[in-house]
Amino acid sequence: MSDTAAFPTRSSQRASRRPLQAPQALRTLLRSPLGMLGLAWLVVIVVASLTAPLWLPYPIEYQDFSAVLAGPSAAHLLGTDELGRDVLSRIFAAGAGSLITTFLAAVVAIGVALPLALIAAASSARIETIINRVTEIAMSIPALVIIIAVIGAVGTNLYLVMTCLGLLIAGGIYRVFVGQAKSLQSQLYVDAAEVDGLRPAMVSIRHILPNMATTIFVQFVLVFAIGLMLQAGLAFIGFGPQPPEPSWGGLIQSASKQIYVHPWLMVPTGLVLVFTVLGANAVADTLAGGQGAPPSQVALGPEARRRRRELKAAAPVAVESAPEGMLIVKGLTIGVDDGPELVSSVSFEVAPGTVLGVVGESGCGKTLTALSLVGLLPPGVNPREGSIRWGARDLARLDESGLAAIRGREIGFVGQEPMRALDPMFTIGYQLAGAVRRLRGVGKADARAEAASLLGKVGIVDAERVLRSYPHQISGGMAQRVAIALALAGRPKLLIADEPTTALDVTVQAEILSLLRGLVAETGMSMVMVTHDFGVVADICDEVVVMYAGQVIESGTVHDVLGAAEHPYTTALLAADPHAGLGVVGQERLASIPGQVPQPRDWPTGCRFADRCAFAQPQCVVPVPLIARDRGDGGVRCVRVHELQLGRLDDPVPLDAATPVDGGADPTAPTTAAAPARNGKVRS
């Protein structure tokens, strides 16, 4: 479960289902009888109309005065009109013009809406807000009134009229596109592409646009149907092609005059028009089945604009350079624009060649902290205070171009779900070789060879087969190895791993941890490992930071924290962890921590763990700073740390000395949670 699920983030706003891809869309149509009927009719009517001059039985002006208002016959398959003209010939002669001009309206609508949606999804909230307001104005304009005004000004130029229709309807299509584009923009494979150095425009073209193919086609067909009906309606009221040039709306208007004398005349043209619209809708409905709802938009309020101006003004402020290859995070505070803080004053250091573990329950801010290190915070979430020093740069204040120069090349990123970090539209080889080419500037052949080499480094034996495979053709463990290979494509000095083993089984987890441990030893890079599992921390990490409710509540070396934890929350987590808790002498079952992590809006002013802590006292309601540990380096955020001495191995305090604050947890509940650290016996 993501740590950011408690507040609005890109990961919590994802659409529930992935859009259909082109081959899958074709298979969906072939399996649907209704969709196939609609598609077959559209193909027949389009081909017949466009080739009408080659096969029409009569010229459109030919009049057979011996068969005026005649019904269907061998000479006239669909009968004749009031002037003895062949109805079949006039229907299909009119079809080409109707279909071409309607096609133009759909092209204009999609051609305007799609680029705007891609720009809005990839840009800042300010640009998105501006585009939203412009499209809302376009949607508020009565299209029919404007079209009639255009006809009054320039005449019945259907090409111009349908172009105006496309422009006016583009606003509504944009709203559909921007929802899906923002949903796709939140996918991990888009983040991976950004980390690999792909520019936002190329991300939209290579990753967002192909995954929107079905939605684009669906909206195109729907606009086509709307345009066809509107064009017929205009011709019916006299704003279409003028006689003797035929049009479907004009044919229906002429037939309506004979409705009481010869009702059959209404049937052929009416059915062709109705079946064409129904066919287009049937295809669109078949393809649109199961599409997920778009996520909500991120508003840009006055407070958000003020904070962004302050951050931009503070950008030139110089910060002390970090040593080469060292990451120094100091006082980092992250919050929602016009909203609460999500991470409060987080500080830690990662030296070259070391692994830092970040541990805590879901909702504690681990993932947000990790994402801030590579500038991938969700829209509307930004650093407010503090610094992230990497060399001479402060990553918290860099703009997108500055971050793009670092992502992938100096800092790599591995996300939680490997299958979502890979674009399903492309093969593994295409994605991995493309990353190598972007980040290292090599040719195609060298990039392909390096991609195979990277797969070998992450333990994939049959590299050539995997390079030819699509993401859905490989297992979860292999996908995680590929994701790690992608992160290594630019030879980074620091790797951010956000719960890289969460979605894997135990055996594969051990293999991935062994792989990461070997890569650190071989390459000398450093790593920040976000995890829930103390077993993972004990296996691979050198130092550990324990987070709770957006704060660092304990930090130190793995030996100090896991062997002699001093914060009640850390001891409770150890007792609840199957890797550590079951190794405690005298403990028969795993402990649990009552309650849950509070929401950011509900954070208390004092100790944020007090409501769940059996050792809480009235003095815990005041703000708590980090206090130096009794043993080893690091700190503990607990005002009673020296009094409780939970980390002492020789003289543990009696549990009945703890008295909870009013409304606090049952003091007996976390009794076993405190035991592991006091006994100091943890199995790693």
What integer pLDDT is reported at residue 589 of this predicted model? 67
Structural domains of the chain, ranges and CATH numbers in brackets = 24-50+93-288 (1.10.3720.10), 306-541 (3.40.50.300), 560-679 (no CATH)
User: What is the three-class DSSP state of 504?
Assistant: coil
CB-based contact 386:345 (threshold 8 Å): yes
Backbone angles phi, psi at 237, to 5 degrees: -95, 10
Torsion of CA 413, 192, 117, 24, to 10 degrees: -140
Neighbours of 94 (CB within 10 A): 25
Q: How many CB atoms lie within 10 A of CB 213?
A: 16
Q: What percent of the chain has pLDDT above 70?
A: 83
C-beta separation of 481 from 514 below 8 A: no
Angle between helices 87-122 and 213-236 (to 10 degrees): 130
pLDDT tens across 89-132, in order?
Answer: 888 888 887 888 888 989 999 999 999 999 988 887 788 889 98
Reported as a single tens digit per residue, the pLDDT across 621-647 is 888 888 888 777 788 999 888 887 776
What integer is the mean pLDDT of 23-39?
76
Pick from 238, 251, 254, 230: nearest CA to 155: 238
Q: Is 556 in contact with 629 (CB distance < 8 Å)?
A: yes
**Rounded distance between C-alpha atoms, residue 526 and residue 531, angstroms:** 16
What sign does the dihedral 479-483-486-491 (CA atoms) show? negative
Distance CA 70, CA 92 (A): 19
Ramachandran class of 631: left when φ > 0, alpha when ψ lies in -120 to 50, beta otherwise: beta
Helix %, strand %, coil % for the chain, to 5?
50, 10, 35
Could you tell me which of 2, 298, 318, 293 has the C-alpha nearest to residue 124?
A: 298
- Give the span between the Cα atoms of 568 and 617, in whole angstroms: 13
pLDDT level of residue 358 (50, 70, 90 thresholds):
very high
Confirm whether pTM is higher than 0.75: no
Q: Give the model's pLDDT for residue 356.
A: 94
Per-range mean pLDDT, top range of 61-65, 524-528, 633-637: 524-528
Lowest mean pLDDT among 58-72, 123-137, 189-203, 450-464: 189-203
Give the per-residue pLDDT at 35: 81
Average pLDDT value for residue range 58-65: 82
Whole-number mean pLDDT of the chain? 78
What DSSP string runs through 527-575? EEEEES-HHHHHHH-SEEEEEETTEEEEEEEHHHHHHS--SHHHHHHHH
When pLDDT is cut at 50, 70 and 90, the band that residue 587 belongs to is low
Distance, CA of 266 to CA of 239 (rounded, Å): 19
Helical pair 671-679 and 568-576, crossing angle rounded to 10 deg: 100
pLDDT at 334: 93
Give pLDDT tens digits for 377-415: 887 788 999 999 998 889 988 888 888 888 888 999 888
Q: What angle do CA 73, 74, 76 make, to 5 degrees?
A: 60
Largest CA distance in the chain: 117
Q: How confident is the model at residue 312 (pLDDT cuts 50, 70, 90)?
A: low
pLDDT of residue 196: 66
Per-residue pLDDT of 207-234, as tens digits, reads: 888 888 878 888 888 888 888 888 888 8
Which tokens go with 552?
């660092």
Contact yes or no for 80/233 (Cβ under 8 A): no
